[in-house]
Amino acid sequence: MEAILKRYFGFSAFRPYQKEVIQGILRGKDCLVVKGTGSGKSLCYQVPPLVVGKTGIVVSPLISLMQDQVMALKQRGIKSEYLGSSQTDYTVQDKAERGQYNILFMTPEKACSVSMSFWSKLKKEGICLFAVDEAHCISEWGHDFRVEYKQLDKLRDVLPGLPFVALTATATEKSFDRGPLFMNKLVLDISKYVASGGSTIIYCTTIKDVEQISKALEEAGISAGIYHAQMDKESRAESHRLFIRDEVQVMVATVAFGMGIDKPNVRQVIHYGCPKSLESYYQESGRCGRDGIASVCWLYYTRSDFAKANFYCGESLTENQRTAIMESLMAAQQYCSIATCRRNFLLSYFGEKSESEKCGNCDNCIDSQKERDMSKEAFLLLACIQSCWGTWGLNMYVDILRGSRAKKILNAQFDMLPLHGLGREYSSNWWKALASQLIFNGYLTENIRDVYRTISISAKGQKFLNSVRQDCLPPLFLPVTSEMIGERK
């Protein structure tokens, strides 16, 4: 293994866990490889075929990604090709059947549609592994869900005894603490940062946003490529190539772009909109700074992003799927709203502990918000929630405090509550920002009911209310976040 590593890849030693994975594959074991972006997952399926002299099959989601990998492997003297709808060399399949490739990439659609005779001939020549790269796509609620991914299990019967390998960077643990990345939340002018920021990826949650951001950059005199699902395959592949080769510095794309991208000099990743999940956010933001040079992650969001549950749940088939989507979205929302260290929040979410309270490398650590006593406002919100039995969403409570006479409030007779209108001096966004702080600090609990979220009082919040009833309003110091500044009406 070491000789292969040195000869073809120029490394004298394996990175952590690569050798163990390769040894497992060579012993015929199935493997799940969960390693951080840029940590060398690909070597885990590239080395075994070279060791045993048999073909390794690799399922990959993107044609452009497969083309890049094939090109890179050929340059190292490794016989490699891909099979997919855009393959114009019709001799590839015949050569594959005769075992002429060390590594053969396939789209999931191709893997599920090739004939039994193809697999029979290839097995006769020798197969050493069946790998699924970017394996998070298999997930029922994955952002890149394609039906064929859920059919790959049928190949178990076709390829008995063959080690199956799944590889992904999503849900990593030990490699989350990526030092060079500087994480920021709000900026005023995207074009200003793009113009001076070097190689940049701007991730958008919708195709409409991709087109709008691209147009805005063009009007600002900044050339940018685009990448989304409604483009034809040739156009997507061309955008991908131009960005990888630094012929275009900025790529505006939906989150499908960049899976497996090994471009070391991406200087910044900008998320335009609250991410769907922290797993995807970590993977996408991890595509910058791979060369170890300080890089920046920007995140723009509005509170309307948090109301996209119905959109994200559109393809879910079961209640469990909807619940998983909602929980992921809630965690991403909390990340957007926190006033504490962002890196520590991410590490904690993925089961890691930080050695210090502040990383000194995110906006909350560098620009510490002033704190003030918000006990009065917290009491109003908690009392309002309790008066409504804690069975409504946040908007209802905020509307009551702001004195709304909307039909839903009148029908429930919430306009008769003593608290009705007592919080009208603050805007809706101010109250929602306060609620986010109270959720993060454990005074409120957010609950999921199908695709709807309700807010109720936690035990800690109830203790706070009880102390108020005893004629003692304990101080409650909370950060004055950016959403609260200038929001007093």
Which residues of the chain form CATH 3.40.50.300?
A: 2-168, 181-337
For residue range 356-408, list pLDDT tens digits in order: 888 888 888 887 678 889 999 999 999 999 999 989 999 999 999 999 999 99
Which residue(s) pair with 226 in the sheet? 252
pLDDT in tens, 412-429: 999 999 999 999 999 998
CB 138 within 8 A of CB 166: yes
pLDDT band at 261 (very low <50, low <70, confident <90, very high): low
pLDDT in tens, 325-358: 888 888 898 898 888 899 899 888 877 777 888 8
Q: How far is CA 223 from CA 81, 119, 195, 215, in A?
A: 32, 45, 10, 10
Kindly report the length of the chain: 489
Is residue 475 exposed (0-12), middle (13-18) or buried (19+ Cβ within 10 Å)?
exposed
Q: For residues 63-84, b (16+ Cβ closer than 10 Å) or e, as one string?
A: bbbbbbbbeebeeeebbbbbbb
Please give the Cα distance from 33 to 168 (Å, whole number): 6
In this predicted model, what pLDDT tens digit does every residue of 213-232 receive, in sequence order?
998 888 888 889 999 878 88
Confidence band, pLDDT 50/70/90 cuts, at residue 489: very low
Nearest residue to 382 via CA among 433, 333, 336, 434: 434
pLDDT band at 487 (very low <50, low <70, confident <90, very high): very low
- Is the confidence at residue 188, as pLDDT, over 80? no
b/e burial code for range 209-238 (CB count within 10 A of at least 16 → b): bbeebbeebeeeebebbbbbeebeeeebbe
162 pLDDT band (50/70/90 cuts)? very high
> pLDDT tens across 432-446, in order?
989 989 998 999 998
Residue-wise pLDDT tens digits, 23-38: 999 999 999 998 876 6
Q: What is the percent of the chain where pLDDT is above 90?
A: 40
Q: What is the pLDDT of residue 181?
A: 67
pLDDT at 146: 62
Per-residue tokens: 391: 């069975």
Q: Which residue in the block uniquely carries the two structure tokens 């309790």?
A: 386
The two three-digit tokens of residue 287, written as one number = 């595509």
Helix (H, G, I), strand (E, B) or coil at 54: coil
Distance CA 35, CA 58 (A): 17
pLDDT digits (tens, 9 = 90+) for 431-486: 998 998 999 899 999 887 766 789 999 999 999 998 876 567 788 888 887 777 65
CA–CA–CA angle 354, 360, 365 (5° rounding): 100
| Residue pair 60/50 in contact by the 8 Å Cβ criterion | no
Which CATH number, 1.10.10.10, 1.10.3720.10, 3.40.50.720, 3.40.470.10, labels domain 371-479?
1.10.10.10
- Burial 318-329, CB ≥16 within 10 A → b, else e: eeeebbbbbebb
Pair of tokens at residue 175: 């490699």
Question: Helix/strand/coil (H, E, C) string of 268-285?
Answer: EEEEECCCCCHHHHHHHH
Mean pLDDT of the chain: 85
Question: Which pLDDT score is estimated for 450?
Answer: 66
Question: Pick from 365, 335, 352: which is nearest to 178 by CA?
Answer: 352
Q: Which helix (H) or strand (E) holds 75?
A: helix 63-75
> If residue 200 lies in a helix (H) or strand (E), which one and from where to where?
strand 200-204
Q: Where in the chain are all domains bearing CATH 1.10.10.10?
A: 371-479
- The CATH H-level superfamily of 2-168 is P-loop containing nucleotide triphosphate hydrolases (3.40.50.300)
181-337: which CATH topology? Answer: Rossmann fold (3.40.50)
3-state helix vs strand vs coil in the chain, percent to 5: 45, 15, 40
